[in-house]
Every structure is written in structure tokens, then in C-alpha cells.
Amino acid sequence: MNERAKITASHLSRQAIVYLRQSSAAQVEHNRESTDRQYALAAKARELGWPNDRIIVIDEDLGLSGSGFVARSGFARLTAEVALAHVGLVLGLEVSRLARNNADWHRLIDLGGLTDTLIGDADGIYHPALFNDRLLLGLKGTMSEAELHVLRARLNGGIRNKAARGELRRGLPVGFVWGEADGEVRFHPDEAIVTAVRNVFARFAETGSARRVWLWFRSEGLTFPLQMHQNAEIRWVEASYTAIHHVLTNPVYAGAYAYGKSRQETMLDAAGARTKRVRQLPRSEWQVLIPDHHPGFIDWQTYEANQDRIAKNTRPGPHKVGGAVREGSALLQSLASCGHCGRRLHTHYRGRSSAPGYHCPGKILVEGRGVYCLNIGGIQIDEAVTRAFIAALEPAKLAATLAAAERLEADRDTSLKQWRLGVERASYEASRAERRYRAVDPDNRLVARGLEREWEESLSALEAAKAELARRERERPRVLSQEERDRLLALGPDLATVWHAATTTPRDRKELLRALLEEVIIKVERDKAAAHLTLRWKGGALNEIDLALPRSRPATIRTDEDTIALVRRLAGHYPDAVIAGILNRQGRATAYGHRFEASRVGNLRRHWDIPCFEPKAEQAGGELLTISKAAVVLGVAPSTLHRWLNDGIIPGEQLTPGAPWRIRLTDDLIARFSETAGDGFVTMHEATRKLGVSRQTVLQRVKRGELEVVHVTNGRKKGIRIKVITRQSELFDQTS
């Protein structure tokens, strides 16, 4: 069939899309002929009958792979136009330009068959709705995907074979350069770079922590070399933790050649699109590992020991030893394990002095409650382990003292050497800037001004480096004299004095313990008040220690017995807040001398099993009421009742001094408070005049019951009324 016969008027009435794609930016930059051939397909569309206004060129996917892992906006736009039946012809230089994976390719074929869209390349024009054309398009897509697989497998096979011989040249970490021979790796010719890297391993051997190495670089103000890629210029920047950690964990620094340490994995993101991620592989899955491939800063055994030490500095897993030493005083942090269940013991600190202790994280059920299977104070445990450690170091004390004396003299030589090399580097940069300035044509002032500015900056950097070096040399500790060395040697064998010195930090003691001890197993027998320690030293030696523990004793601080008895008596009548006020008014205090509060009263009650206050239901008569409640019932002010209580007119009850007053609401008491006074009741003033006595005498007679009294609660003249008997009636009564 003539291919032009497949083009109908319906196809020509729609758009013709020319799709351009190249796999990488390097192909777009260097393979210009392929790009020009793809743009020339627009002329092919005009030759087939499409006018210029209906020819669309989609070229935004230039430099993007068609494997399906990269989002291609141009291909998505092409697929959408085909699905909407806006396209009559899709032109590409070859099928692989459209898609390198069958998922995208067959989706485009299906849409083209449904919407009557033609697909054309350099070999011809195809109609996806026709069986033969569809079969051919499917085979082309399969071959395109297979071609990509074969090319990739061929290239990867060559790369792996070369890497297996250690000859594949890839990016080297800072401190190394490639030599002239195949697979030859040399130290960097710059002595300052090599010295900086050696300082990292030297400080790690001393401190055992990547973070502490980084902090040492920061404290000394030292810079670290940085190279972004293999051919980039090395820059000296402030040391970062990532750079220090990379140096300590990269096997290249141990003289090993490694390839295939990571793997690309395909996964689906949240939107369902395929993405790639890089997963770091364990050492057992590396494709190539050649120890002793080239000279390294450390040997392979030291590298493995460093990795084990770094791994232990991280947060350990269950039942695993680990964790970097910290500032706490518990010496057996991450070394102690439970002698009952085998779990690693956790540390804790208690009391005002923050005394250390150890407990097992595993719990057992005792009487329905979870308790630790081991919980013990750490002071005696640490002292016993310290004694065993010092005794084990007895033969090596003199050698350790000599090493300490040498370290005291050369402690800062490492940092000073790096500063001296920095001065040399700054001097070279200044000389180079001067040579460049003097080599420029004096008439070319545009270039000369820039080079002069660089020369001045280099000279300023050189002066700053010299000043800093001079300052650090002035601060350098002086060399010990022979007499001072002799005194140090005399003090050195007394390791116990050094161990307990104020200048020896808990971190230093832990580092010393970790140098020899592998594990300390603690088993506690509470019924015997004893602990059994098993010290496992590095190398497999065991040492067992039996330790007597102090028996527990009752608390020496407790609340006074009379205070507890008073709280027990008041708890049935008053809530905790009221009881706290009563105790404070009586001048009582807690066991630690604090004022009572409602919460402290509640804690005291719960500790001594004292029931709390429960309000009782109201009773009909004779009920005990507080002053405020009784005042509401009687219709008077609380101050009136307080005054009557003070005057003794009405009785009241008080459980203890300072407790609230209560009065019993009887019928007789209610009768003393009425709206109006009866016959014979007069005011206090009239009563004193008729009786010829003072106010106090009248109140005393009322208190003794010799005179009747009522309180008028209604009208403008409220107050007490007293019923008196005249003198004449008293005289008649006496004569009769």
C-alpha cells in the first residue's frame, strides 16, 4: 500500500507534531547533526501536505532520557493532544526518540489507534489501527528498549571488568591523585592537604569520636581541603562534620579500591511515577573490594577497628553495646549488662548530688505491677571496677607516664605544623599573584587593576596567616625540663592519684575503661544484700568480684506523730485546703520544713491511709454549721455571729485551735433571732439605764442566762433586745 494513501483529508485538517528528543545535555551540545535532522522533519510534514500553521514542533524534551524515569513535559503534551484527537500525524526521526520504554510507547500506540492518528519516522508512515502497522510499531518499540538494555549492559560490563582490576578511574577523595600507570593512586603532592588528612586519623586514634575530631579542628581554627569533583580546584574551608566523617569511613584512605558501594533502585512515588533512589550497600554486597591496592593513610586493620568504633558511638540497638562516652559520672555507661536477663543496663541519676545508678530496661511482673529486674546505685559498683582496673594497669603505669610526658610536650605540634603549611600556601598564592600582575601589559589597565586587587588580597591573607601562626607559637606550652620530667615520672606511677584528680573528667575515665574492658556483668541478690560483678576484659580474660551492698533502712525524715494524729482527726470534718490552713496557723511544718498546702496534706493522707473528707447530708435539727452557713439560715451577718461567740452569748465548737468555728443550729438558737421583739424587750441602752449597770455587766448576765436576749432582724432598728425586770418588782419579790 502506498504510504501517502494512508493520509486522508481528516488527517490534514488536524495538526502535525514533530517530536524532538536527545538523551543527555552532552548529546544536545555535541551531536548537533542529529538535532538538525530532527528539526528538518518539519519540512517532511509540509511535503506530506500539512500547512505551516498546523505544524507544531515539540522540543522541550531535548537532553532528557526516554527510559521512563524522567518526567517529560513534551511527551506528556504530545500524548494529551493525541488523546483529544487534535493530531493527524506524529513525526519522529526514529521510534526510540518517542520512548525507550514499552509502557509509554504502547500507550501512545493505543491512543493513536483510537483517535485515527498516524505515526511516522524515517522508514515510513504507520497507522496504529491497522494490524500490520501496529505489529511493526510494537516490534520497533521492543527493539528500541532491547537496544537500550544491550548498550547499557555492554558498557556496564566493560566498566565492571576494569573496576575488578582496580584500573577504573573514578573520583578520588581529597588527599589522593591518579598516577600515570593503570590503576596507580598516589598521595596528593600538596603537603598541606596530606597533613590535614593525617591529622584526622591521628586525632581519632586519640579521641575515638568523629565529632570530637571535628570539634578539635574548630577549636584550633584549622581549615580543611574541599574538592567538589576530580578536576576542580581545591579550596580550604572551615572543617565540617560531614567531611571528617567521610574521611574516617572511606576505604580509599585505608589503601583499598572499592566499586559498587551503592545501587540504584526503582520505586513509585506518592503520585505513582517511577523514580530512582540510591541505596548504600553493606560491605558484603560491594561489587569490588581490593585491599592493599595503593598506599593509604592507615592500614586495613586500623580502618576496620575505626568502623567498629564509629558504629559503637551511634545509638545502639536492643541488647547491643554502643554509644559514645558522655559527661555523666556513671563509669559503666554502655559497658554494664544485666546478670539476670542479659540486657544492656541503662544509667540514671538521682538525688541532689546526682548519684549515678544502673537499671535494667526489661520489666517483670510482681504482684501485678511491672518492676525492673535490676535497679542498683552505681557508686559502689564504679568504685569496685575502678580498683580492679587500676590493679590491672599496675605493670603498665611507667610506660603510660612516659607516653603522657611526651604527649604533653608535642600536643600542639600537629596544629602548628598545619598553620606553618598554611603560611607557606599563602606565601605561594601571594607570589603567584605578583607574577601574574607583573606579566600583564601595563597599558591594559582593565586587567591590571583586577590582578593588582588579587595581589593585595593575597598579601593581606599572608599577613593574617603569619600573625595567627605567631600568636599560636607564643601560646605553645614550654618544653619540660629534666627536673620537671623526673617529678612527673615520680607522680606517674601513682595512677590512683591521677584517676581521682579534679582535672580528670568522667569522659577521660570512661575512655580509659573502654580501652581495656569489654563488658561488666552485674547480678544483684537483694535477699543477701550482695552483688556479683563479672569483668570481661578485651582479649577474653574474666575477673569476678563479690561486693556487699548496704541494707535498706527506713526513712529518717518523717512528719511529726502529733501532726499526723491531728490530720487524721481533722480529715473527717474538713477538706485538705482547710486542714492546711489550720496546720499553718498552729505553726506546724512538713518533714522538710515547708508550709502545708492542699497537695501536701493530700500526699500525707495517702501515705498514712487517712480517708479524705466527705460532706455529710444535711440533717433536720441540731446540725453543726459553719459561721457563714449559719448566718445565711439565721438572716444575719457572719460578723454578728462571731461577735456573739466572742461575747459568749451563743455556744460554738472548734476541733482544735485555729480550726473554723461551728455552731449547732437548735430551736432555742433559732428563737433568739426573730423579726420583732416581744413584750418587755428593750434596747441595750435602755437596759443599762433601767438596771443601772454597765454594758459589760449586762452581757455577763446574758451569758449566765440571767437575762433573755433576742436579735431583731427586720426593720430599720436591727440589733439585740434584752428583757429586764424593774427594781420595784425585784423589791416586791424580795419582801414577799
Which positions are annotated as active-site residues?
23
Angle 175-173-189 (CA atoms, 0-180°, nearest 5)? Answer: 25
DSSP H or E segment with residue 205: helix 191-207
Which of 182-221 are b and which e, b meaning 16 or more Cβ less than 10 Å from the residue's Cβ? ebebebbebebbbbbbbbbbebbeebbbbebbbbbbeebe
Distance CA 237, CA 622 (A): 91
Single-letter amino acid, residue 342: G
> For residue 347, what is the DSSP state?
E
For residue 62, the cross-strand partners are 22
Residue 568: closest CA among 612, 634, 630, 599: 612
For residue 69, the 8-state DSSP code is S
Cα 717 → chain centroid: 76
Strand 517-525 to 336-338 pairing: parallel
Query: Is 707:722 a contact under the CB 8 Å cutoff?
Result: yes
Q: Is the separation of the CB atoms in 63 and 27 below 8 Å?
A: yes
Would you give the DSSP letter of residue 481?
Answer: P
Backbone angles phi, psi at 222, to 5 degrees: -85, 145
Look up residue 532 and give its three cell numbers.
556479683
CA 66 from centre of chain: 42
Cα separation, 359 vs 374, whole angstroms: 5
Q: Is 30 helix (H, G, I), strand (E, B) or coil?
A: helix
d(CA 173, CA 250): 8
The tally of CA atoms less than 13 A away on the side-chain side of residue 7 is: 22
Least Cα distance to 93 among 37, 13, 146, 12 occurs for: 37
Give the span between the Cα atoms of 33 and 356, in whole angstroms.
77
**Nearest one of 684, 661, 681, 672 to 713, comparing CA atoms:** 672
Q: Cell 595503593 belongs to which residue?
A: 294
Q: Which are the contacts of 382, defined by CB distance < 8 A and separation ≥ 6?
A: 329, 330, 331, 332, 356
- Give the separation between CA 319 and CA 112, rounded to whole angstroms: 62
Q: Return the C-alpha cell found at 22.
A: 536527545
Phi (first) and psi of residue 121, to 5 degrees: -140, -165
Q: Of how many residues is the chain composed?
A: 736
Find out whether 183 and 257 touch, Cβ atoms under 8 Å.
yes
> Cell 580498683, residue?
387
